[in-house]
Structure 1
Amino acid sequence: MGLMEGVLTAVFGGGRNRLAETVEVFRENAEAGAARAAAYQGAALDQFGREFMIERRGWFDRFMDGLNRLPRPALALGTLFLFVTALVDPIWFAARMQGIALVPEPLWWLMGAIVSFYFGARHQAKGQEFQRSIAAAVALAPQVQANMAALAALQAGAGSAVPEEETALEAANPALDDWRELRRGA
């Protein structure tokens, strides 16, 4: 017995698994590797979520955002207004278009550049806001996954939990019993 104990202690150590430690020198422990990968992914998601957090904004920022939203609807509604006035009062519309025909070409180029830069900057700001919302959604992914796993466990293992709960409630509800009696009688 002492010889076997000596051999086993030499191979497996006193409370340690020397064989497993030796194998781990040549091959990664899959469980430890998965834990490291999960920690790395969680840290990356946390960093990504913090990078794109939506900060609280003051009244001035909200006012400026509202003001920035005006040009596109104003341009669209103005164009529709021009179509309507062309139908309602063609003489008035023709007089205004003659005035626009007198605008020099460099001014049209300047107007095009201003409108292009405005809509380009707006597009970039909205794109960044969209990325922030995606980061917030991705940060919620582990919570959603945990909720889905809990729901799947409830569905698979506790299919009878809801009916038992309902029967306990039904037994303690005399009004429900009276109502059922009335329905059976009718």
Structure 2
Amino acid sequence: MGLIEGTLDTMFGGGRNVVRDTVEVFRENAEAAGQREAQLRGATLDQFAAEFAVPRRGLFDRMMDGLNRVPRPAMALGTLGLMVAAMVDPIWFASRMQGIALVPEPLWWLLGAIVSFYFGARHQAKGQEFNRSIAETLARAPVVQRNIGALRALESGFGSVAPAADLPPTGEGPNPALDAWRRGNG
């Protein structure tokens, strides 16, 4: 009987378990794996909590964040609004666009630079030629004035309006298909 007792003492005595130690070489200890998994999940949640923690900010900071979110939706909705306005009241829209024609070209470049820098785009200076001056832009003012007068006459219902001086006469335009259509319906 001493032989079996000695063998069992050797295998399981002194806090050792030879069978368990041998099996763990071939198969993972489920309890230890569960503990490691719980530690991993806890560390992951701690990392996410630190990463997504929202610092308490003041009223001014929150108002500035809200104000910084306005320009993109305002430009998108404004563009859609212009398209709707062009369909609903073309005369009103065309007269506003004639006013925009008086904006000097350097001001358009400035606006383009501000908008492109605001949205984080690079402003590409290559190929930009500032060949029109303010005087050239203001030289177009009489044509714009005639066009606005013609639009107002159309809006108020007065008969036919002569085309502006810079427009080609009817039937002599650069579009042969449109000329043929005018001859057929005229």
* TM-score, scaled relative to structure 2: 0.48
Computing the radius of gyration from Cα coordinates, the structure with the larger value is 2
Q: Could you say which structure has the higher helix fraction?
A: 1
Higher relative contact order (CA 8 A, sep 6+): 1
* TM-score, scaled relative to structure 1: 0.48
